Chains A and B, each alone.
Chain A
Amino acid sequence: MISSNLSAIFYLISGILFILALRGLSSPDTSRQGNYFGILGMIIAITVTFLSVGNFSTTIIYVFLSLVIGGAIGAFIAFKIPMTAMPELVAGFHSLVGLAAVFVAIAAFLNPEAFNLGSPGNIKFASLVEMSIGAAVGAITFSGSIIAFLKLRGIMSGSPITFIGQHYINLILGITIFVLIFYLCKLQFESLYWTLIAISFLIGILLIIPIGGADMPVVISMLNSYSGWAAAGIGFTLENTALIITGALVGSSGAILSYIMCKAMNRSFISVILGGFGEENSSSDTKNKKDQKPVKSGNAEDAAFLMKNASSVIIVPGYGMAVAQAQHALREMVDKLKKNDIKVTYAIHPVAGRMPGHMNVLLAEANVPYDEVFELEDINNDFANTDVAFVIGANDVTNPAAKNDSESPIFGMPVLDVEKCKSVLFVKRSLSPGYAGIDNELFYKDNTLMLFADAKKMTEDIVKNLD
């Protein structure tokens, strides 16, 4: 058994190692080292906890057993999960953090002596507030992440679910939470605690169901943030520095990512939360326009011909590439182009895909060197002196309506200036609008060639035609 002062210092060290783990991610070169720092920090925190509790009775066997079970499941998932499924994996992991926070908060409420918080029915006021907040935020994170998971996985429809009075219900439930915490602190009834958790679960569900598929990058980032705040809340209860530091880090990390995602869509955080985006299905008006306007469509041969005669090509990947798992075929195509001395780069919009950085991971998986992949601001000027833009599975992020149609719901959103290229190849299954439900005028431009097919199949066909 080690003194609580010594263990506090070790918790501080593990907190610092977690900071270094995030710091490492500033460049891919240092990132792996950063991850080791994180692992080391975790090992220190867990070891110190065992030593400071100092209970080495038979119970410890069950603790190790739980660790091994959980660890085995986690390792199995980590090795098996396909990279295209990262968004739902992260959502699933968030839900686990949330639920773990709830469980720890419940354990602390039922057995406060173990945590030096007082005795049952006579828990310190501050601890009660902290554990209530930790449990509530944890429960919201849990149920919200489950909904996000189901939506990303496609088990639940990605379209927003809205009903009248939704926001009022959320507001009332939110107020109820505060009232419950107030009375819980006064009366310390167990039933109030359970009600608090149940209502928080409900809020989590209600918060996420009105948010549509296109806003998923924001939702995931937001839940990431919540999981951090939940951890911090528990950290205050347990008076544990490692947890407080980590919770604050993760909380601000998620908040920054949400901000970046919102900005990339030119949407305010509030409007994302209120939801309903993407439900306005293309009105009859746009449908008529679609029928009238001519679209040039081509096949793999045309596309191969166009690209072979180009001197520079920019690839614009989007969610469609992930769905079709086309990243490997794409990389093959690029290799062929490079053999013909064609300059190929990749342009990635911040909200391409279903989570921040989704496309980068997929390209990395297909062995695309990361210094060929550029972010929106770094590459947008290059489109004007590029011969061919190859848009694969992206849509809304290329829509010029964001720049010139003030009526458009995506007006003001930063987009990739794909239309400035000499020609645009657009791989898409059909003319259907993207998640935002808006028609893309790019489809009807003279220099656009639509390639109607599954992204993977089309890319493979192009590869064949490049020989």
Chain B
Amino acid sequence: MEIDPFIFRFSIFILSIFIGYYVVWSVTPSLHTPLMSVTNAISSVIIVGAIIAALAGSSNNIFDTSNIFGFLAIILAAVNIFGGFLVTQRMLQMYKKKKNKIK
């Protein structure tokens, strides 16, 4: 009997949890705030689903309910993607070592 593709995705899911576990434990505590903002940004990859929903159907029914939800989700996810990555970048720029102390 063939294996259900769900099982493959489920395997990816479980293995990723393990990867996440080990990777996140190695994150230095002083960077926990950037960790949260960057995880925020990457979880907005949900925009993929939003784009599919928004682009579905032909051009004469752009504003079906499901498309509208797609557009709204794109806006929300885009706020997060841009906001999340940029604010992370802004924070990370501030972490400096003693040597590079300028002012």
Contacts and interface: CB of A to CB of B under 8 A. Distances in A.
Given A231-B45, A243-B45, A238 B32 contact: no
A188 to B, nearest CB: 15
B35 A253 contact: yes
A104 B46 contact: yes
A248 B31 contact: no
Interface string B59-80: 1001011110111111111111
Nearest to A232: B13
Contacts of A99: 73, 76
A77 B56 CA distance: 30
A312 interface: no
Nearest to B77: A100
Contacts of B25: 256
Contact of B69 (A79, A110, A361): A110
Contacts of A3: none
A433 interface: no
Contacts of B40: 90, 93-94, 97, 224, 227, 250
A150 B87 CA distance: 20
Given A42-B81, A103-B73, A357-B32, A63 B16 contact: no
Given A90-B36, A93-B80, A39 B85 contact: yes
A18 interface: yes
A232 B20 CA distance: 13
A38 B42 contact: yes
B interface residue count range (under 10 / 10 to 19 / 20 to 34 / 35 or more): 35 or more
A81 B27 contact: no
A248 B89 contact: no
B50 A100 contact: yes
B89 A32 contact: yes
Contacts of B26: 23, 26
Interface-centre pick from B27, B40, B46 (highest chain A CB count, 10 A): B46
A370 B83 contact: no
B37 A93 contact: yes
B89 to A, nearest CB: 6
B50 to A, nearest CB: 5
Contacts of B85: 35, 38-39, 42, 78
B39 A254 contact: yes
B27 A22 contact: yes
